[in-house]
């Protein structure tokens, strides 16, 4: 009973001696089709396993009922959880979610954004790579009403939708906790300078130090882009020259690099140096000695971002009101 190629409306219309438009309306349960005809068409369509061609539908209706999400890396648990939150909301509203990863390459990111626009995604969730200005450029040039919600790494202006966690507070709390553990020479392994999360986390870190009467030593602050190499160089240099007694790491990857670097040190330093870092890795709590974790409410961030996006997609001509949601992160695994 399975056909060689997908059956289309005209196949049904021929088989039933009806016009294509009647078949279409019957399947869409239009009121201007007789009940009897509807039954015939619908049951026949079910028998031959008719599925509307989404490409054709999209072309006609100018929407695709899918949203795209662009993240740096799906293997990063933080982003994976965000994706799950997005899927949760989107699927409930009949939208599919298409996932892209940039691997922190601005070039890839730009290509993906262009492609998303050309494929007419109904909306975009974006956590931009480093180069904010270039991304802005592209967002302008696609010349479409592509609704966007930024999350995690967000632009500084207020004319866009944003969902973030309270990076300042989280960094403040984490650093304060390290200070309470008696640490004074706290190094900060920061992400790329210039992006929102780096700025806010650095601010929280600095505030906590000053708050405790510790001066901020620029030598202990190291920016790493997303190459492992940079992080390792920074870590080696820090150990050689400054021997921090604690590390505050600004990302999943940096947390684990720190941890590994510290574990390789000779005792007793290896077990004395404390590390706290941003990570949503589900098994981080298994590490001994502990890696204290700043855990972001990633699933909720995804849910909220998706809700904001779908709202702006459906609320057509309503006047735009930009949202800015900030959620708290929690410090875990501090015994």
Residue 65 within binding range of DNA, rule CB under 7 A: no
Binding at 177: pick from DNA, a second copy, none (beta carbon under 5-8 Å per type) = none
Residue 59 within binding range of DNA, rule CB under 7 A: yes
The binder of DNA chosen from 1, 2, 4, 17 (CB under 7 A): 17
Binding at 8: pick from DNA, a second copy, none (beta carbon under 5-8 Å per type) = DNA
The binder of DNA chosen from 14, 15, 19, 264 (CB under 7 A): 19
Residue 290 within binding range of a second copy, rule CB under 8 A: no
Candidates 18-26, 75-83, 147-155, 166-174; binding stretch for DNA (CB under 7 A): 18-26
What are the C-alpha distances in Å from 68 to residues 83, 141, 306?
A: 10, 18, 10
Contact 247, 275 (CB under 8 A): yes
Residue 152 within binding range of a second copy, rule CB under 8 A: no
- Output the smallest distance, CB 142 to DNA, in A: 13
User: 9 vs 281, which CB is nearer to a second copy?
Assistant: 281
- Output the smallest distance, CB 126 to a second copy, in A: 16
Residue 265 within binding range of a second copy, rule CB under 8 A: no
44, two tokens: 């026949």
- Kindly write out the interface string for residues 49-88 of this chain, putting x where it contacts a second copy by CB under 8 A and - elsewhere: x-xxxxxx-xx----x--------xxx-x--xx-xx--x-
Binding at 36: pick from a second copy, DNA, none (beta carbon under 5-8 Å per type) = DNA
Closest CA to 178 of 261, 252, 276: 276
Residue 3 within binding range of DNA, rule CB under 7 A: no
Which residues are near a second copy by CB under 8 A?
A: 2-7, 49, 51-56, 58-59, 64, 73-75, 77, 80-81, 83-84, 87, 96, 98-101, 103, 114-115, 117-120, 140-145, 256, 259-260, 263, 281-283, 286-288
């Amino acid at each position: 009973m399975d056909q060689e190629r997908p059956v289309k409306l005209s196949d049904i219309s021929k088989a039933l001696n009806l016009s294509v438009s009647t078949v279409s309306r019957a399947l869409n349960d239009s009121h201007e089709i007789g009940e009897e005809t509807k039954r015939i068409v619908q049951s026949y369509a079910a028998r031959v396993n008719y599925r509307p061609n989404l490409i054709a539908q999209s072309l006609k209706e100018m929407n695709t009922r899918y949203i795209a999400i662009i993240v740096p890396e799906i293997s990063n648990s933080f982003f994976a959880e965000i994706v799950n939150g997005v899927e949760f909301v989107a699927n409930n509203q009949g939208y599919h979610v298409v996932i892209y990863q940039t691997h922190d390459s601005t070039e890839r990111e730009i290509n993906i954004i262009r492609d998303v626009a050309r494929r007419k995604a109904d909306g975009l969730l974006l956590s931009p790579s480093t180069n904010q200005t270039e991304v802005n450029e592209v967002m302008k040039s696609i010349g479409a009403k592509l609704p966007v919600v930024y999350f995690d790494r967000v632009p500084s202006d207020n004319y866009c939708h944003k969902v973030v966690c309270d990076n300042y507070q989280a960094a403040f709390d984490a650093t304060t906790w390290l200070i309470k553990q008696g640490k004074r020479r706290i190094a900060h392994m920061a992400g790329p300078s210039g992006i929102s999360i780096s700025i806010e986390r650095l601010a929280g870190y600095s505030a906590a130090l000053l708050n405790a009467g510790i001066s901020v030593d620029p030598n202990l602050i190291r920016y790493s882009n997303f190459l492992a190499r940079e992080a390792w160089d920074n870590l080696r240099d820090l150990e050689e020259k400054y021997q921090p007694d604690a590390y505050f790491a600004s990302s999943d990857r940096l947390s684990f690099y720190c941890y590994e670097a510290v574990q390789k040190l000779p005792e007793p330093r290896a077990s004395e140096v404390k590390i706290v870092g941003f990570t949503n890795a589900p098994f981080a709590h298994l590490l001994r000695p502990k890696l204290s974790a700043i855990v972001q409410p990633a699933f909720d961030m995804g849910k909220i971002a998706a809700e904001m996006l779908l709202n702006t997609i459906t609320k057509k001509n309503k006047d735009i009101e930009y949202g800015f949601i900030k959620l708290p992160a929690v410090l875990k695994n501090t015994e």
